[in-house]
Chains A and B, each alone.
Chain A
Amino acid sequence: MSKIRFTEPNREILARRDSIINDLTRLVDPAGLITSTDECRAYETDALTAYRKMPLAVVLPKTTEEVSAVLKYCHDTGVKVVPRGAGTSLAGGAIPSEDAVVLGLSKMNRVLAVNYDDRFIRVEAGVTNLSVTAVVAENGFFYAPDPSSQLACTIGGNIANNSGGAHCLKYGVTTNNLLGVRMVLIDGSIIDLGGDYLDSAGLDLLGLVVGSEGQLGIVTEATLRILKSAEGARPVLFGFPSCEGAGKAVADVIAAGIIPVAIEYMDKAAIEICEAFAKAGYPLDVEALLIVEVEGSDAEMDATLADITAIARANGATTVRESRSAIETAAIWKGRKSAFGATGRVADYLCMDGTVPTGKLSYVLAEISKIVQRHGLRVANVFHAGDGNMHPLILYNANDPSQQSKAEAAGDDILRLCVEVGGCLTGEHGVGIEKRDLMRCQFDDADLVQQIRVRAAFDPRWLLNTDKVFPLDFRCQG
């Protein structure tokens, strides 16, 4: 019934389960070792809930040294390891396998240092994204990447997936806001890449590690760049009678040399779902909605918004509503950021994450609705329009196996379309297991072979997050 293949677990490892668990008890605090079926169930899936596998065991180390001891043990004895932050991956990046130990970072959640003069914060990898900003907000600073799952998702997971969010149009994604990491390699060695300064020495291994989906090592600490918050920020809602008008307005704003902090897009289906949930005051009589946020002094925001409003009106915007209070602003963003959760209340959904050139947005939106209709399903579109990172939510009923295959087939067609128009399979969610078998759409064998060689330089035995990212027939090519 399900389309994504899992490899057969290694029977020899399964047979050794008791002795492996016994060995692990000597490596981590007993409170950090989970082995009962009931307790392991919390770790059998992530946010790609259609797929589940019970892990061999779960370890929750408290220190880098414990992570090192566990990895060294697993390396020496040939046991696979699946790293896990908060388990919010939409791509199945944290889904275990029966012969793997899940290494969760939830107990490594301390803030280690805050330095406003040098503008960084150093945290353990299990700290949540939102709590980083919470720590520095009292001094008027913030950490820029803000994925929708920021209440739950961890910095370690953000690094593994190069997470973005609504505000990365101006401030960049995780890789642009990360100064350094401490990480543990599969053989247990502990390395530091980068630090509290700009541009690390030697090859840019830090840049390589970001977005590597837990396959090169396990990050245990991170030094993040923090920024002073703007004096003010103001989102504006622009409602359009056509999707094309909204798409064109996005392209025209960028072309006019205006880089707002965020340009978020919602189609009619998404507007209705989010408004019902968040009561944000989204207009319901339009086909498409843009949330454009600008920031700066009041005078600067007024000037920029006047330019953006003129462009929106020229593209047919019928509703223009500026937020006039912090409460309104919060409601507007609550609606957007809870889009996935709110959608989950009305239907099961698959969330795609392809990125397309911004000039192709209108075309791709029209094609997406054709694709989804062809498969007999519905779609809600809510995404980061300014950087072309689309999130079509394909709605289906998970209790109907035929609908799940249709939804997955529609998702594959959408991602192929993203690649065809010059984009990519995933902008910020990662490949995980979900898009693993589509990698050949975007890459030639030579591209993948070179990536695999680099992966093998870090993890020659393919023990880290083994069955993710690369097609299963691509392995260990030295």
Chain B
Amino acid sequence: MTDCYKPRDECGLSSAIKDAATAKMPLVVRGAGSKSAMGRPLGGYAMSLTTERMRGVSLYEPTELVIGALPGTPVSEIDRMLAKHNQMLPFEPMDHRVLFGTSAEPTIGGIVAGNVSGPRRIAVGACRDSLIGVRLVTGRGDVVKSGGRVMKNVTGLDLVKLNCGAWGTLGVLSEVIFKVLPKPARSLSVGLGGMNDTTAIAALTAALGSSFAVSAAAHIPASIGSDSTTIVRLEGSDGSVAYGARELAKLWRSFGRAELIEGDESANLWLRVRDAHWLAQPMDRSIWRLSLAPSKAPHVLADIRQKLGVRYFFDWGGGLVWLAVVDADDAGASVVREAMANTGGHATLVRASSEMRHRIDVFEPLPPAVLKLTQEIKKCFDPDRVLNFGRMYAGI
């Protein structure tokens, strides 16, 4: 067991980091630890720091669609508070406990640190798009703020986005502020069965190229369950969703007969898509997440499947591919990265043994000029390399 700083406030957070910087002692930074097994392993560090005691909603103005919270606040607490006013975090963050078999409730700081989003990302943007303000403590122990509580803000450099998805390598968040959305009055899914990957992505593309309030689009191939399911979710007012469902069924006529899925059945289906439920078991499989242009996804998958035993499904209309590698001595890295090489997209090794994550690039390797910038940015936030040093890239 490592010793752990558990600051209760920003001041305590700053002094803990200053201590570590003075001693040049690297820290493992985490929230509740639901995603601790993601990224490059940080096994050798003696000290850790958790923000889980920095809890609570710091600002909530339902009429202004804005909420702020301390980093250790459980996401469920924020969801509950928003639900009282019929509002929600727009980006539908994934719950990594399903994939990692962890139990501690994900914190909002962890969601921001990983830029964690879900199926609605294609309609309303990622976590980074809803995040409008942060306070954070840098590796020097300096408290820095960026952005704020208003939705339009181009005052100074956007350190908000820079820190969203930085996995705690630049600063430790001490407050995060989001714009939120009203919950849609109605949500339902429209599904098609029996399609192969290529046809399914074509059907999703047709839906996403329509104006019928599509908020999510996924394809679960037959290899996952019994039959393949190609689904889109429509969200909005009662009238617009009913109208959209009718029109979409017409639009999809050439693909097959569309079926309506409503209520809990629809909601549960999207929870499973969000959390990559079908790939969670068995736990010893390595899991990849590929981000690429949807039209390229079927080819990339066909290519990978020729060389590797995989289970997979598509979210984001085909733009996000979840992949469980059945057996390969490099977690499938060489095949996956080669298949992705000419797509322009990127692949992340989300789940794998610690040994594998040490040996293989977890995040997409960066071109030299971008790597150099990334190193310079790390240096200017965290010159003593105390914050999650090496979690994203070696030396960063």
Give A contacts to B, CB under 8 Å. 115-120, 140, 161-162, 164, 168, 172-173, 175-176, 185, 189-193, 195-208, 210-212, 228-231, 251-252, 254-255, 257-259, 296-297, 299-300, 303-304, 355-359, 384, 387-389, 422-431, 435, 439, 442-444, 446-451, 453-458, 469, 478
Contacts and interface: CB of A to CB of B under 8 A. Distances in A.
B205 interface: yes
B237 A304 contact: yes
Contact of A450 (B138, B205, B295): B138
13 contacts: A119-B209, A176-B125, A201-B364, A204-B128, A208-B158, A210-B158, A228-B211, A231-B211, A255-B62, A300-B237, A357-B149, A424-B153, A451-B146
A443 B363 CA distance: 33
Interface string B323-361: 000000000000000000001111010000000000000
Contacts of A258: 182
Contacts of A425: 155
Contacts of B157: 208, 211-212, 451, 454-455
Interface string B153-179: 111111111101110001000000000
Interface string B353-379: 000000000011011011001101101
B322 interface: no
A202 B392 contact: yes
B64 interface: yes
Interface string B61-91: 1111110000000000000000000110000
Interface string B275-293: 0000000000000000111
Contacts of B145: 443-444, 447
Contacts of B150: 355-357, 387-389, 422-424, 427
B294 interface: yes
Given A198-B316, A457-B377, A439 B161 contact: no
B200 to A, nearest CB: 14
A451 B159 contact: yes
A192 to B, nearest CB: 8
A257 B154 contact: no
A448 B64 contact: no
Contact of A454 (B62, B66, B164, B377): B377
Given A203-B166, A204-B115, 8 more contacts: A176-B125, A189-B369, A202-B366, A210-B161, A211-B154, A257-B86, A359-B63, A424-B155
B225 interface: no
Nearest to B182: A257
Contact of A303 (B213, B239, B367, B376): B239
Contact of A297 (B149, B183, B243): B243
Contact of B293 (A197, A359, A423, A451): A197
A205 B320 contact: no
A162 B129 CA distance: 13
Interface in B261-318: 291-295, 316
A296 B165 CA distance: 34
Contacts of B364: 201-202
List 5 A-B pairs, minimum CB-CB distance, nearest first: A207-B161, A257-B182, A427-B152, A457-B376, A255-B63
Contacts of A200: 346
Contacts of B125: 172, 176
Contacts of A356: 150
B210 A357 contact: no
B381 interface: yes
A228 B210 contact: yes
Nearest to A216: B157
B64 A254 contact: yes
B370 A193 contact: yes
Given A259-B181, A359-B64, A427-B154, A197 B292 contact: yes
A357 B66 contact: yes
Contacts of A357: 61, 64, 66, 149-150
Nearest to A163: B154
B144 interface: yes
Contact of A384 (B149, B152, B208): B152
Contacts of B154: 161-162, 211, 426-431
Contacts of A117: 205, 209, 294-295
Contacts of A449: 142
A197 B369 contact: no
B25 interface: no
Given A201-B364, A446-B143, A454-B380, A469 B344 contact: no
B111 interface: no
Contacts of A429: 154
B86 A201 contact: no
A303 B34 CA distance: 43
A251 B61 CA distance: 11
B152 A454 contact: no
A422 B149 CA distance: 7
A140 B206 CA distance: 13
